[in-house]
Amino acid sequence: MSQLRTKHDELIRKRHPHFQFEFEAYHANDPLRTLRRSMLSATRDSRPRVLHIAHSYEGGGGTEKHIHDLETALSDRFVSVAVAPHDDLKLYHRDLACGSWSYASAGWPLTTCNVPASDDVWEGLLREIKPDLVHFHHLLNHPLTLLAKLVGTGIPVIVSLHDYYYLCPDYTLQHCPGVHACDTCFPERFKGPAEYQRLRRALLGDSLRQAAVIVSPSRAARDLVRQVYPDLPIRVIPHGIRHIPPVIRKAGEKIRFGMIGNVTQVKGAEVILKAWPLVTHNDEAELHVYGASSSLDYIRCFEELGIYYHGPYREADLSRILSQIDVGILPSQQPETFCYALAEFFAGGVPVVGSDYGNLADQIHEGVNGLKVPRDDPRAWADAISSLIQDSTLREQIAQGVRPPDSIDDMASKYAALYHEILSHRNAARAARGGTVLTAEPAQLNSLPA
């Protein structure tokens, strides 16, 4: 098949030298975008319409993956559209762009609270889409008042906590000395007044309190957010995992440790580079690293230490990769709100040595399905890995203790129930008002607090 495709590609290049350029130009111009937008606006589909709002839709991060999974899994019950800023503010339906609006940057980290021109964009968008429900996934790249203005329209809004942006511009909290240490940390970290952070939290806290529901993918994230906003009612719905084909694991000559996901400092690359040379009997083990890295220094260090770096991988490769790993390694330096890599390891039956921090600390049960290690202590990481090399009984014990995570269908059924619950409350309130539609006219955005 590959030879036939190569032959056909050569034939196309010979007959149509500009084919690739014209092909890419056609997709860049996207002549059907206007038609898709008109069809979306004109549809009389009886299913409730959900508008997903995020900081990004085209990237490969966890938030984007979660939105795509929800849209696909709930497509038989809800009409889903999504909006995210990519240069312009873009509207998506079924993974295809079908509209765009000029959108002023709100800046970061000292994000602008109010951009009047953006209000005009949202008024027109809401009028055109007419959502029954807004699922707000991320405020990054938007004005800080956007959430407050949306909840003020009367359209029910669900807020998902994918990270800690409502607590701090450093949404991973990687460098956070404590969520109540902002008076000293904020001026040093972001070169701005601490008063900005206090006002930011006051604004976002009030916005969150007006949401119909707040959802966290883990208890750990919920509890950390409540340290700042203790009165917030937050429900926990774990993310679901896309299907991974059955993993058939064959024993290797050595104990195979593995890391999957982006290879960055925040994911613990530097800690593991310091820990691996300290591992006892590491000649009886291998460490394999899978994932994209923009750091040539990391790649060079892997090679020098005898760590196998395999580079980026496709989701379709996960089953094969997991079949070649006996124990997962997740030295995350941030308090993970969920961690897809952990769920994927568990889905493949792989126990994990992970940071005793964030959701990893909640999901890894010591000696049951893995081991927990202080996140930034290379000696402790080396000791934990060494203990598993030397103790086959412990390795077998934690492998037997792994349980599969929720599937996408599990997650989708919980969100479907939540969406219907919120819409039922809206309909009941509407009936109590004699059938009056609760959703405010989008023009009221301009009259809400800035």
Q: Report if residue 117 sits inside a domain.
A: yes
Q: Report if residue 217 sits inside a domain.
A: yes
Residue 365 has pLDDT above 70, yes or no: yes
Residue 147 and residue 226 in one domain: yes
Instruction: Output the CA torsion sign for 414, 343, 356, 292.
Output: negative
Query: 90: pLDDT confidence band, cut at 50, 70 and 90?
Result: very high
Q: Report if residue 212 sits inside a domain.
A: yes
Q: Report if residue 305 sits inside a domain.
A: yes
Residue 392 and residue 433 in one domain: no
Q: Report if residue 247 sits inside a domain.
A: no
Q: Report if residue 267 sits inside a domain.
A: yes
Task: Give the separation between CA 393 and CA 385, rounded to whole angstroms.
Answer: 14
Residue 128 and residue 190 in one domain: yes
Residue 145 and residue 278 in one domain: no
Among candidate residues 323, 325, 352, the one with its CA nearest the CA of residue 339: 352
Q: Where residue 120 sits, what CATH number does that domain have?
A: 3.40.50.2000
Task: Return the pLDDT at 429.
Answer: 84
Residue 63 and residue 120 in one domain: yes
Among candidate residues 357, 347, 447, the one with its CA nearest the CA of residue 403: 347
CA dihedral 207, 211, 217, 219 (to 10 degrees): 80
Tell me which residue range forms the domain holding 316. 255-400
Task: Return the pLDDT at 122.
Answer: 95
Percentage of the chain with pLDDT > 90?
Answer: 77
Mean pLDDT of the chain: 90
| Collapsed DSSP state (helix, strand, coil) of residue 74 | coil
Among candidate residues 62, 70, 180, the one with its CA nearest the CA of residue 418: 70
Q: Report if residue 15 sits inside a domain.
A: no
Residue 450 has pLDDT above 60, yes or no: no
Express each pLDDT in 284-329 by its tens digit: 999 999 999 999 999 999 999 999 999 999 999 999 999 999 999 9
What global pTM score does this model have? 0.86
Residue 249 has pLDDT above 90, yes or no: no
Task: Return the pLDDT at 37.
Answer: 55
Long-range contacts, 186-192 (Cβ 8 Å, 24+) = 190/109, 190/110, 192/109, 192/110
Express each pLDDT in 192-235 by its tens digit: 999 999 999 999 999 999 999 999 999 999 999 999 999 999 99
**CA 96 to mean position of chain CA atoms:** 20
Residue 230 and residue 93 in one domain: yes
Residue 100 and residue 194 in one domain: yes
Place of tokens 């056609």: 26
Express each pLDDT in 20-77 by its tens digit: 777 666 655 666 555 555 555 556 678 999 999 999 999 889 999 999 999 999 999 9
Q: Report if residue 109 sits inside a domain.
A: yes
Residue 190 and residue 268 in one domain: no
Rounded to 10°, the helix 408-432/62-73 angle is: 70
Task: Give the separation between CA 350 and CA 370, rounded to whole angstroms.
Answer: 9
Residue 206 and residue 122 in one domain: yes
Residue 214 and residue 261 in one domain: no
Express each pLDDT in 114-144 by its tens digit: 999 899 999 999 999 999 999 999 999 999 9
Question: Which of 320-329, 401-410, 426-435 is least confident?
Answer: 426-435
DSSP class of residue 87 equals: S
Q: Which amino acid is at 282?
A: N
Residue 83 and residue 201 in one domain: yes
* Single residue among 361, 380, 400 that ends a domain in this structure: 400
Higher pLDDT, 447 or 202: 202
Residue 225 and residue 370 in one domain: no
Task: Return the pLDDT at 441.
Answer: 40
Task: Give the separation between CA 92 and CA 94, rounded to whole angstroms.
Answer: 7
Place of tokens 């008063």: 195
Task: Give the separation between CA 112 and CA 425, rounded to whole angstroms.
Answer: 34
Whole-number Cα distances in Å, 46 to 38, 79, 113, 256? 17, 9, 36, 52
The total number of structural domains in the chain stands at 2
Tokens of 406: 């929720």
Angle CA(15)–CA(17)–CA(21) in degrees, nearest 5?
A: 135
Asked whether the bond before 109 is cis by omega within 30 degrees of 0, the reply is yes
Among candidate residues 259, 321, 266, the one with its CA nearest the CA of residue 291: 259
